[in-house]
Chains A and B, each alone.
Chain A
Amino acid sequence: MNNLLTVSPSPHEYGKETTKKLMYGVVIALAPALLATIWFFGWAAILITSVSVVSCVIFESLIQKFILRKKPSVSDGSAVVTGLLLAFCLPTNLPIGLIILGALVAIGVGKMTFGGLGNNPFNPALVGRVFLFLSFPVQMTTWPVPKGFKTSFTDAITGATPLSILNENYDKIPVQNIMTDTELAMPGYQQLFWGNMGGSLGEIAAFALLIGLAYLLIRKIITWHIPVSILLTVILFTGILWLANNESNADPLYHLMTGGLLLGAIFMATDYVTSPMSKKGMIIYGVGIGIITVLIRRFGAYPEGVQFAILIMNAFTPLINIYLKPSRFGEEVKNV
């Protein structure tokens, strides 16, 4: 060796985890849901996902190169995750132009305006999704019925989602009758679990999302605090409503497996950048998302509220970070 030694402050040992590995870990966790959706929606699912991911990656690198003039960092995988998540909350027959527009808003407005990865206050994929939802409500709420690779992209047979059927008929028909009504054709628990129903691309297959959750937890990409507090809050809240009046409220299990709840709780609310940092904060945030979701679903104008609930709680995240600190060592002094 030469006589020059590297001198640097401690620590001299570094962990193996990197931002890139974490991001691609999320991609791996999303893979089961992607496979499930391809099974149910065929080519349409592949097309939408590819368009969304590719547009997100291209928009991010273009903005970095020509507007921010920063060193390109698109390879860190965060744009791929945003692209996947955006695709996962779109209906499968959305015109391609709208997908690209959604990706531009997600990456451009949702993420890069604030300085890129780590600085955005709101989940970029949800910003894109809500923009499309409010601007193109008809296209965004037309749900093709899953027919596997036979699902046609352009003139698919469309149907309502279980939540929208419920939302239209609350207080009109007792919930038990909605469930059994042959004309409304509400999917049963088994169908919900395996994902054979109308809905956005990635939100339908509960089992695949749960596999993703298990992977995220085992791989220590996320902790249980956010998803568990959201899901428990929804179960508790809808459970109380259901026990109080089961004529006009669906049961907790049905709420759990319909709409974007699992996708939101597992993959969107847990976005590092936009969720609180301390364990206490994560639980408050999760409880908030759960309550707002149920309020919108049951008492609001929209059948589904997860997207708004997460964005609203994203706005509270900086405040939560200021007021809910981790418990410091030596705080509770035990006397000898």
Chain B
Amino acid sequence: MKTFAKGGVHPPENKISAGIPIEILPVPEQVIIPINQHLGAPAEPMVEKGEAVKAGQIIARNKGFVSANIHSPVSGKVLKVDKAFDSSGYKQTCVIINVEGDEWIDSVDRSDKLKRDINLTGEEIIKKCSENGIVGMGGATFPTHVKLTIPPGKKCNVLIINGVECEPYLTSDHRLLLEKTGEILTGTSLLMKALGVERAMIGTENNKKDAIEKLQSMVSEYSGISVHALKVKYPQGAEKQLIKALIKREVPSGGLPIDVGTVVHNVGTAYAVYEAVQKNKPLVERVVTVTGKDMEKPVNLLTRIGTPVSKLIEYAGGLPDSTAKIINGGPMMGKALASLDVPVTKGTSGIILIRRKESRRSETGPCIRCSKCIAACPMGLEPYLLMTLAEKELYERAEKERIMDCMECGSCSYICPAHRPLLDYIRLGKSNVGRIIRERKQK
């Protein structure tokens, strides 16, 4: 079975909510919509205090090409446009809306009927994605229309759909693949048309056997798409690793997938693109896995953007006493939340409750040079060395040792028998080396 060649680890999968169908979370009384939920420039708010909005209505417009529109996920009145905490722990401008009813703008088709026929041209599809504020749903939230616009001189010959979901606990992509198979396959066809490619590969890990079976039974109805089961290994869902696993090409250091003739989109994105293009529906909701070992009722929730995290946890049975840490995203790359009042955003794939006994790091010991971090690094780096270089502020050498290639997957910190904070120091090194590189470019 195919997988990527270098490095990787296999953390316990803990996919507790894998067998639980997607449920719809009731609309909360209030939503908090950050204007920056994507990579690139924050959107520009278009509504004012007291203004009435409908679900699906645009409330913040993209600023420049690398930016994304933001729509209201609910109907109601704008309470205020003000600074509020987002999941990163910082304050940013948010549109806060008090919910009244659930009235949608007329152009949105809210029916469940699968609409397979594609009548739009590639350019029109890209325009729809941009208008409807579609961003990468895997967590990086890169605006989709930017990724679909191929830079001059480059060529794309295969589209890769990322259904790997290699992070432990998370099951939102798994459930989407299983429950929205036709929609995702249609979304894939739309993305193929937008990119002008004849071939698409859907990659998923072999721990989602039901989804793979379903995909395989339906894929023959769609031309050019193939389904590939991959050996379970973290971080296979990382773009470069997935490309390596599926088409054996290595994206060069500092390069993009398009440099090797491919573009990668998440299954969640394929679904969002389907809804945006075929149903005229902006990106105002997403599936969020809410799970944890002591959780009463782990669930996969179709959640309106802007819903406070506390509402999701309430729906899943409330906060167990044992909880000591709450993660936004997967346990390997997700961020720990400082508050439950922060909203779900376009990039929130899961909310994971970690018990007290698993929330603490073990005591750090000296590096015994076992080289397990080197063997685990999927980028072929030497984490032990990068940590030392960052610690000693030897940034020039760290740059030569390709510290900027690190994608912060955390495999090194995970595997280290001495529990050294490898990734913490590498991150510190990366931010300093990044600053030095920017300063050099400015000169």
Interface, chain A (partner B; CB < 8 A): 1, 5-15, 17-19, 21-22, 73, 76, 78, 116-119, 223, 272-273, 275, 277-279, 325-334, 336
B377 (CB) vs chain A CBs: closest residue: A326
Cβ of A6 and Cβ of B360 under 8 Å apart? yes
> Which residues of B lie under 8 Å from residue A275 when comparing CB positions?
369
A1 touches B322 (CB 8 A): yes
Given contacts A272-B370, A334-B250, A336-B261, contact A329 B365 (CB under 8 A): no
- Inter-chain contact A330/B325, CB cutoff 8 Å: no
Q: Mark B402-414, 1 if CB is under 8 A from A, else 0.
A: 1001001010011
Whether the Cβ atoms of A18 and B417 lie closer than 8 Å is yes
A115 nearest CB across to chain B (Å): 8
Binary per-residue interface labels of chain B (222-242) against chain A in the complex, 1 for a CB within 8 Å, 0 otherwise: 000000000000000000100
28 contacts between A and B (CB under 8 A): A5-B325, A5-B337, A5-B338, A7-B89, A7-B325, A8-B325, A9-B336, A9-B423, A10-B335, A10-B410, A11-B331, A11-B333, A11-B413, A15-B417, A19-B365, A19-B418, A116-B366, A272-B369, A326-B374, A326-B380, A328-B379, A329-B244, A330-B253, A330-B379, A333-B260, A334-B248, A334-B249, A334-B250
For B, the interface residue count at a CB cutoff of 8 angstroms equals 75
Contacts of A328 in B (CB 8 A): 253, 379-381, 402, 405
Q: Are B369's CB and A273's CB within 8 A?
A: yes
Q: Which chain B positions have C-beta within 8 A of A7?
A: 89, 325, 336-338
Q: Which residues of B contact A19 (CB under 8 A)?
A: 365, 368, 417-418
Chain A residue contacts of B91, Cβ below 8 A: none
Residue-by-residue, is B304-346 near A (CB-CB < 8 Å gives 1, otherwise 0)? 0000000000000001111111110001111111110000000
* Interface residue B362 (Cβ < 8 Å from any Cβ of A): yes
Instruction: With both chains docked as a complex, state the minimum distance between the C-beta of A207 and any C-beta of chain B, in angstroms.
Output: 27
Main secondary structure of the interface of A (DSSP, over half): loop
- Answer whether residue B354 sits at the interface, using C-beta atoms and an 8 A cutoff: yes
Task: Report chain B residues within 8 Å CB of A277.
Answer: 369, 371, 374, 382, 384
Query: For the complex, what is the distance from the CA of A118 to the CA of B77, rounded to whole Å?
Result: 62
B356-369 vs A, Cβ < 8 Å mask (1 yes, 0 no)? 00111110011111
Instruction: Report chain B residues within 8 Å CB of A11.
Output: 331-333, 410, 413-414, 423
Residue of B6, B375, B410 near A329 (CB, 8 A) is: B6
A contact residues around B362 at 8 Å (CB): 14, 18
**Beta-carbon contact of A331 and B370 below 8 Å:** no
- A50 CA to B381 CA in the complex, in Å? 42
Contact at A22–B381, with CB atoms within 8 Å?
no
Are B368 and A21 in touch, CB under 8 angstroms? no
Q: How far is the CA of A79 from the CA of B377 in the complex (A)?
A: 29
Chain B, residue nearest A325 (CB)? B382
**Majority secondary structure of chain B interface residues (helix, strand, loop or mixed):** loop
Cβ of B196 under 8 Å from chain A = no
Are A330 and B336 interface neighbours, CB within 8 A? Answer: no
CA A17 to CA B368, docked complex, whole Å: 13
Could you tell me the distance in whole angstroms from the C-beta of B289 to the nearest C-beta in chain A? 15
- The residue in chain B whose Cβ has the minimal distance to the Cβ of A18 is B417
Residue of A nearest to B14 (CB): A13
Which residues of A are found within 8 Å of B323, using beta-carbon distances?
1, 5
A-B contacts besides A1-B320, A329-B378, A330-B253, 10 pairs, CB < 8 Å: A5-B326, A5-B336, A10-B423, A18-B419, A118-B368, A118-B418, A328-B381, A328-B402, A332-B250, A333-B252
Residue B9 is within 8 A (CB to CB) of chain A in the complex: yes
CB-CB nearest 4 A-B residue pairs: A11-B410, A336-B261, A118-B366, A277-B371
**CB-nearest residue of chain B relative to A13?**
B331
| Chain A: CB-nearest residue to B373 | A277
- A12-B417 contact, Cβ under 8 Å, with A272-B371, A273-B369, A328-B380: no
Chain B: CB-nearest residue to A9 = B424
In the complex, which residues of chain B have a beta carbon less than 8 angstroms from the beta carbon of A118?
Answer: 366-369, 418
Whole-angstrom distance between the alpha carbons of A15 and B322 in the complex? 21
**Contact of B375 (CB < 8 Å), options: A21, A223, A333, A336:** A223
A272 to B358, CA, bound (A): 28
Interface status of B11 (Cβ within 8 A of chain A): yes
Task: Let me know if B157 is at the binding interface, CB within 8 A.
Answer: yes
Chain A residue numbers with a CB within 8 Å of B240 are 329-330
Which residue of A has the minimal Cβ distance to B154? Answer: A336
State the CA gap A18–B240 with chains docked (Å): 30
Docked CA distance A22–B319 (Å): 37
Contacts A11-B331, A277-B384; A5 near B89 (Cβ below 8 A): no
Are A17 and B372 in contact, with the CB atoms below 8 A?
Answer: yes
* B250 CB contact (under 8 Å) in A10, A21, A331: A331
B324→A5 contact, CB < 8 A: yes
User: A6 contacts B381, CB within 8 Å?
Assistant: no
Q: Using known A-B contacts A10-B408, A12-B334, determine if residue A329 contacts B379 with beta carbons closer than 8 Å.
A: yes
Residue in B closest to A326 when the chains form the complex, CB atoms: B380
**CA of A329 to CA of B372, assembled, Å:** 17
Contact of B354 among A12, A327, A334 (CB under 8 A): A12
The reply to whether B370 and A22 contact each other, CB–CB distance below 8 Å, is yes
Neighbouring A residues of B21 by C-beta, 8 Å: none
- Considering the chains assembled together, what is the distance between the CA atoms of A15 and B414 in angstroms? 5
